[in-house]
């Protein structure tokens, strides 16, 4: 049996040439200033996290070693971001703080995707009682705001960065399950899925080779935006004492350390707060750009 295609648009999106996507990405990155800013922020964050021991002017203090005689120094040429109550260099600790921020957010988003995407695909493709059961379980988690649920779970498990990551995974996977289910339902009756069934392709193969590959665009965009949101959530948990514990360099923990002296020693909380703001902004800008590049309806 042969099939004649009059144009590439008749192919499933996953099987179209990647050249078009590459050209769209180049045009968007060249034209949009927001794309350049977002990509630059993320590249800089990764570079800082990987080279923290080299970039930090005081590597030992970045890891938590105190220097009591240098306590509460204002920003100067010797300490560009000043020092905290234990004499630790704020710039060094901000640099080292990029590591847990980026590492935890990547792990949380990846684990949430690994749990939520398969469940959503199965629910959306099978339908019936299985769909109802999985979605009611998902709705049970979605009934609580993600950060509030993460706070409760972290408090029950105990304050640590590991437990905070577990709490955030539990809070985040339902969103990917819902997204994956919606996309799968829209693809379930697509002509290329029907053709695969006619030719006897097994259901796991259809889900992996056809449904999953054609679901990557919304999932990838959502994951990029979620990376920044998770960094903000980790910072909030650390601020409340439910994530990173001293002497680990964590942006949220650093903001909490300076909250009582914010009026007189503003630099202790301000610079790690700026680091959180810029990082979240970068991921949000990058997510918008990915949507423009990957969504063929955007008209870019």
267 or 21, greater pLDDT: 267
- End-to-end Cα separation, the chain, in angstroms: 37
Q: How confident is the model at residue 271 (pLDDT cuts 50, 70, 90)?
A: very high
The 10s digit of each residue's pLDDT in 84-132 is 999 999 999 999 999 999 999 999 999 999 999 999 999 998 888 998 9
User: Given this model, what pLDDT does residue 107 score?
Assistant: 96
Contacts 24+ apart (CB under 8 A), 262-267: 265/72, 265/74, 265/82, 267/74, 267/75, 267/81, 267/82, 267/90
Tell the burial category of 118 from Cβ atoms under 10 Å away from its Cβ (0-12, 13-18, 19+).
middle
Q: How confident is the model at residue 17 (pLDDT cuts 50, 70, 90)?
A: very low
List the domain boundaries for the chain: 20-298
Q: What is the mean pLDDT of residues 68-72?
A: 85
Report whether pLDDT(4) > 70: no
Q: What is the mean pLDDT of the chain?
A: 85
54 or 10, greater pLDDT: 54
User: Given this model, what pLDDT does residue 22 score?
Assistant: 58
CA 68 to chain centroid: 37
User: Given this model, what pLDDT does residue 43 score?
Assistant: 93
Report whether pLDDT(7) > 80: no
61 or 55, greater pLDDT: 55
Report whether pLDDT(5) > 90: no
pTM score: 0.85
CATH fold of 20-298 reads MetI-like fold (1.10.3720)
76 or 200, greater pLDDT: 76
Give the C-alpha separation, 131 to 135, whole Å. Answer: 6
Coil/strand/helix, residue 237: helix
Give the C-alpha separation, 102 to 47, whole Å. Answer: 11
Phi (first) and psi of residue 210, to 5 degrees: -115, -55
Please give the radius of gyration of the chain, using alpha carbons only, rounded to the nearest integer.
23
> In this prediction, what percent of the chain has a pLDDT beyond 70?
87
Contact 221, 228 (CB under 8 A): no
Report whether pLDDT(232) > 60: yes
Give the C-alpha separation, 161 to 146, whole Å. Answer: 17
């Amino acid at each position: 049996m042969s099939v004649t295609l009059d144009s590439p648009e008749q192919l499933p999106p996953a099987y179209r040439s990647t050249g078009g996507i590459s050209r769209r990405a180049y045009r968007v990155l060249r034209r949009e200033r927001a794309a350049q800013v977002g990509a630059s922020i993320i590249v800089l964050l990764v570079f800082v996290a990987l080279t923290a021991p080299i970039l930090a002017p005081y590597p030992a203090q970045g890891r938590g070693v105190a220097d009591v005689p240098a306590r509460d120094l204002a920003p100067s040429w010797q300490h560009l971001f000043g020092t905290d109550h234990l004499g630790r260099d704020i710039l060094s600790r901000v640099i080292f703080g990029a590591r847990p921020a980026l590492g935890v957010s990547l792990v949380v988003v990846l684990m949430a995707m690994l749990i939520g995407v398969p469940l959503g695909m199965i629910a959306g493709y099978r339908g019936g009682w299985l769909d109802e059961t999985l979605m009611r379980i998902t709705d049970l988690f979605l009934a609580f705001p993600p950060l509030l649920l993460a706070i409760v779970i972290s408090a029950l498990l105990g304050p640590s960065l590991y437990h905070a990551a577990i709490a955030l995974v539990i809070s985040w996977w339902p969103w990917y399950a819902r997204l994956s289910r919606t996309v799968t339902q829209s693809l379930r009756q697509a002509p290329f899925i029907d053709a695969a069934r006619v030719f006897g392709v097994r259901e796991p193969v259809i889900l992996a080779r056809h449904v999953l590959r054609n679901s990557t665009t919304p999932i990838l965009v959502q994951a990029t935006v979620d990376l920044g949101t998770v960094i903000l959530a980790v910072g909030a948990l650390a601020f409340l004492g439910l994530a990173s514990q001293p002497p680990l360099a964590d942006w949220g923990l650093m903001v909490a350390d300076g909250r009582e002296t914010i009026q007189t020693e503003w630099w202790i909380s301000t610079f790690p707060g700026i680091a959180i703001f810029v990082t979240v902004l970068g991921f949000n800008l990058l997510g918008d750009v990915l949507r423009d590049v990957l969504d063929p309806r955007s008209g870019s």
